Structure formats: C-alpha cells, structure tokens
Amino acid sequence: MAKLYFTYSAMNAGKSTILLQSAHNYRERGMTVMLWTSHHTKAGDSDLARISSRIGLSADAHRFAEDVDLFDAIAAAHASTPLSAILLDEAQFLTRDQVWELSSVADRLSIPVLCYGLRTDFQGKLFDGSAELLGIADSLREIRTICHCGKKATMTARVDEAGQPQTEGQQVDIDKDHYQSLCRQHWREVTGLQEN
C-alpha cells in the first residue's frame, strides 16, 4: 500500500537535496517520478519550475498553485506514463485540500507521495499545508540542522538585508538569504516573539 510521507525541518537542513537524491534513485532503477514544487519557486528554462539544492543539484518540476487539483493532474500523467512516485518540494505552501488530494494519490492510485517542506514560518506559526500533513501523513520525518549554539534548530527567523530580525510581513518570502535556522531559545531572543 502506498503512503503519504512528510519530511520537514527548519531552513537549510537539506530537504531539496534529499528529494533530488530520492528522484535520482528511482530513475536509476528505471522508474518514472513526477516532481512538483510551489509556484513561488523560480522558473527553470521552460514552463516548469526548478528545484535546486544548496550543493548544486537541480531538476525541473511541475508547479502547483492554490487552484491546481493535484489528484487530477497526477492521475492524468499516470494514465499516460505509469508513475512510481510523486516528490513534492515546498509542501508548506499546499492548501489543506491539496494535501487530501495527495492522500488520494497514495490511497486510490497506489503511488507513494513524498512531501518535503518547512513546519513553521518565521513567526513560529504552522503553515496550512504543513499542519494538514502533520495531521494525516502516514509517515513523518524530521531532518535536523543546527543552530549557531550547536543545539537542534527547530525555528526559522527572517532577517532583512542588514541582518535585522523581521517579525511582521507576508508569510512568503522565497529569498533563502533572508532566513536563519535557530533553536527555539535563540529564535525567541532574536525575534522577541513568544516571550512570556
């Protein structure tokens, strides 16, 4: 039976690297995979988006926006060319309905769905897609990265070009240079949020 997987972490833990390595492993065994990423991701050389890792790996991927029915899109592709797995980056940007659509891909089409994304935003709040995945995924896995103090980083702080912490603004900012991965204690100190 296929499963819905959610692999999550703070920024810069290597989620995209692991996704791209998994895609390579499937393809190396002659299997067909379908890659997806958020419409917020920069475009590649075509109408597709590009999933890129910090260590230089990259691959083209289909884009999802809030109006994309992922079950229908994946089912149509699977009818044309049987798919062995779906790998989705930036899963935090999924809508709650899209998470359920992906669960239907696993349940009804018997295709494993591997989602990778952030758990919380720069204000410490769950993303909608992450919250739904944490609730219904068959398998949860945390990728660990470390804070500057050496503790596990579980939070992501947003900073401006001068390195000053940002505590307000739009939830989405895709410039990875604007983020720092921190342990909860240092995130509180940097942001001043959730001080009790």
φ, ψ for residue 40, nearest 5 deg? -75, -20
Q: Which 3 state secondary structure label does DSSP give 194?
A: coil
φ, ψ for residue 58, nearest 5 deg? -160, 160
- The DSSP secondary-structure symbol of 43 reads B
Please choose, from the candidates 91, 82, 77, 76, the residue with its C-alpha nearest in 3D space to the C-alpha of residue 31: 82
Choose the catalytic residue: 66, 90, 101, 161. 90
- Pair of tokens at residue 78: 């699977």
Work out whether the CA dihedral 139, 73, 91, 25 comes out positive or negative: positive
CA angle 148, 153, 158 (to 5 degrees): 80
Does 90 participate in catalysis according to the annotation?
yes
Cβ-count burial of 84 within 10 angstroms (0-12 exposed, 13-18 middle, 19+ buried)? middle
- Pair of tokens at residue 46: 């075509």
The catalytic residue positions are 90
